[in-house]
Amino acid sequence: MSSQRSGRGEAGTALITGGAGFIGGFLCRKLVARGFRVHLLDNLSRGRRDAFLLERLASDGVELLEQDLGDPEFGARAGVDYSHIFHFAAILGVQQVLEHPYATLRTNVALLEAALDLARRQRALERFVFASTSEVYAGSLEHLDLPIPTPEEVPLALPDLGRPRTAYMLSKLYGEALVRHSELPQTIVRPHNVYGPRMGNAHVIPQLLERAHRLAPGEALEVFSVDHSRCFCFVEDAVEMLARVALEPRGRGRVLNLGSPGPEIRMDALAELILRTVGRTAVIAPRPATPGSPARRCPDMREMEAVTGFRAATRLEEGVRRTYEWYRPEFESRPEATAP
Ligand SMILES: NC(=O)c1ccc[n+]([C@@H]2O[C@H](COP(=O)([O-])OP(=O)(O)OC[C@H]3O[C@@H](n4cnc5c(N)ncnc54)[C@H](O)[C@@H]3O)[C@@H](O)[C@H]2O)c1
């Protein structure tokens, strides 16, 4: 279909840094459906050129810019007609952060600075959206009386700066401050446990799905942090919120939770749900809590709902089923489990 006929680009041109990744890929599909041209900037350090990405690239008006955002050459060459910039590229994932806290701090700040510099050069930027994290509440949960569900305006305390895990939240918190002082038209979102197909393997839902899928008869299902609880948000709901908040004038200048209001679910109950999804029965073998993992996390979504008129509604059973449908062929094509 020609851009003329589809009207592609009428809504604007969006740049998604980290656009070949999990949330970026789904957001691309959502924005295309709303008439955007979309550029996906990604160095493919984690994002993959898989069937899902190739499908996105087959859409009229979608381009992959296979580049490192930190590359100064890129900034100099980049286009100047982005109406919306979504900044997602970052070092993330507990394992990566624990192994490389220094690089996490430095790189995440440098990538954000590069994205902000690019944003400043746009002729008619309507919105810069920065993906922060729910981890910004980790210190408040530890040191203050954190309300759960957690509203955005709670005072933020810092966890021990010597702990490697703190590097990620600190890079995002400093990032929030940079964005707020940038004087750009902006929205900061704090994603909370977004899950779904293509999210990688270093997350609790794909890991439990894989362990349940590979259980030998009579074997127990190992579950870490068994009494910890989360509110999980299906990726389709998350990108609906992202698209709405970026287009909604009342989203400008706001810091908003991005997630699902619940129900909050304990890891042992999640494991039971996953066993049902995979069609297995097994006893649950509780294992110790992952170090630094917050015991509870659940966002207050009232502000996001007031701005976007949208509330995450995909039931966990449904989202986990769709996630398993996507992962199952991958598990079956790999004889060995992914290393945790
Ligand atoms: N998924 C969640 O639940 C969640 C929770 C909290 C915060 N976030 C934040 O949301 C954003 C998106 O998360 P995601 O789950 O889609 O992550 P993801 O890892 O799937 O996507 C990030 C993408 O950035 C790319 N990237 C990394 N460094 C780059 C560089 N130097 N240049 C260009 N591209 C680079 C990676 O290849 C990857 O495709 C991240 O900023 C993350 O910190 C996500």
pLDDT digits (tens, 9 = 90+) for 33-42: 999 999 999 9
Summarize the confidence of residues 207-219 as an average pLDDT: 96
What is residue 6's predicted lDDT score, i.e. its pLDDT? 45
In the predicted model, is pLDDT for residue 55 greater than 80?
Answer: yes
Distance CA 140, CA 84 (A): 32
Distance CA 204, CA 189 (A): 22
pLDDT tens digits for range 302-319: 999 999 999 999 999 999
CA distances from 335 to 46, 100, 132, 210, 322 (A): 22, 30, 36, 11, 22
CATH H-level, domain 3-195+234-261+296-314: superfamily: NAD(P)-binding Rossmann-like Domain (3.40.50.720)
Percent of the chain with pLDDT over 70: 96
Q: Regarding beta strands 186-191 and 127-131, do their DSSP bridges make them parallel or antiparallel, or are they unpaired?
A: parallel
Count of positions (residues) in the chain: 340
What is residue 310's predicted lDDT score, i.e. its pLDDT? 98
- Report the separation in Å between the CA atom of 187 and the middle of ligand 1, taken as the mean of its atom positions: 17
In the predicted model, is pLDDT for residue 2 greater than 80?
Answer: no
Query: Of 71-75, 179-183, 222-226, where does mean pLDDT reach its minimum?
Result: 71-75
What is residue 338's predicted lDDT score, i.e. its pLDDT? 59
What is residue 115's predicted lDDT score, i.e. its pLDDT? 97
Out of 29, 43, 68, 137, mutate this one to test ligand 1's pocket (max ligand atoms within 8 Å of CB): namely 43
In the predicted model, is pLDDT for residue 10 greater than 60?
Answer: yes
Atom 40 of ligand 1, residue of closest alpha carbon? 88
Contact, 233 vs 258, CB < 8 A? yes
Query: Of 15-24, 102-111, 194-203, 328-337, where does mean pLDDT reach its minimum?
Result: 328-337
Contact, 102 vs 144, CB < 8 A? no
Distance CA 121, CA 46 (A): 27
Summarize the confidence of residues 94-118 as an average pLDDT: 96
CA distances from 273 to 156, 218, 268, 269, 276 (A): 33, 18, 9, 6, 5
- Report the separation in Å between the CA atom of 115 and the middle of ligand 1, taken as the mean of its atom positions: 14
Q: How confident is the model at residue 292 (pLDDT cuts 50, 70, 90)?
A: confident
Query: Of 60-64, 158-162, 302-306, 332-336, where does mean pLDDT reach its minimum?
Result: 332-336
Q: Regarding beta strands 84-87 and 254-258, do their DSSP bridges make them parallel or antiparallel, or are they unpaired?
A: unpaired
- Report the separation in Å between the CA atom of 88 and the middle of ligand 1, taken as the mean of its atom positions: 5
pTM of this structure: 0.95
What is residue 5's predicted lDDT score, i.e. its pLDDT? 35
In the predicted model, is pLDDT for residue 4 greater than 60?
Answer: no
**Token digits of residue 277:** 């999804």
Distance CA 69, CA 47 (A): 14
- Report the separation in Å between the CA atom of 109 and the middle of ligand 1, taken as the mean of its atom positions: 14
Summarize the confidence of residues 316-324 as an average pLDDT: 98
What is residue 253's predicted lDDT score, i.e. its pLDDT? 98
> What is the number of other CB atoms lying within 10 angstroms of the CB of residue 253?
11
What's the 3-state SS for the chain?
A: CCHHHHCCCCCEEEEEECCCCHHHHHHHHHHHHCCEEEEEEECCCCCCCCHHHHHHHCCCCEEEEECCCCCHHHHHHCCCCCCEEEECCCCCCHHHHHHCHHHHHHHHHHHHHHHHHHHHCCCCCCEEEEECCHHHHHHHHHHCCCCCCECCCCCCCCCCCCCCCHHHHHHHHHHHHHHHCCCCCEEEEEECCEECCCCCCCCHHHHHHHHHHCCCCCCCEEEECCCCEECCEEHHHHHHHHHHHHHCHHHCCEEEEECCCCCCEEHHHHHHHHHHHHCCCCCEEEECCCCCCCCEECECCHHHHHHHCCCCCCCHHHHHHHHHHHHHHHHHHCCCCCCC
What is residue 313's predicted lDDT score, i.e. its pLDDT? 93
What is residue 80's predicted lDDT score, i.e. its pLDDT? 74
Out of 16, 28, 45, 135, mutate this one to test ligand 1's pocket (max ligand atoms within 8 Å of CB): namely 45
Residues with CB under 6 A from ligand 1: 18, 20-24, 41-47, 68-70, 88-90, 92, 111, 131, 133-134, 191, 193-194
In the predicted model, is pLDDT for residue 323 greater than 50?
Answer: yes
- Average pLDDT, rounded, for the chain: 94
- In the beta sheet, which residues pair with residue 194? 233
**Whose CA is closest to 258, among 99, 75, 26, 91?**
26
Q: How confident is the model at residue 72 (pLDDT cuts 50, 70, 90)?
A: confident
What is residue 326's predicted lDDT score, i.e. its pLDDT? 97
Out of 16, 23, 257, mutate this one to test ligand 1's pocket (max ligand atoms within 8 Å of CB): namely 23
Percent of the chain with pLDDT over 90: 88
Residue owning tokens 């680009």: 9
What is residue 3's predicted lDDT score, i.e. its pLDDT? 36
Burial (Cβ within 10 Å: 0-12, 13-18, ≥19) of residue 216: exposed
Q: What backbone torsions phi and psi does residue 31 show, to the nearest 5 degrees? A: -70, -35
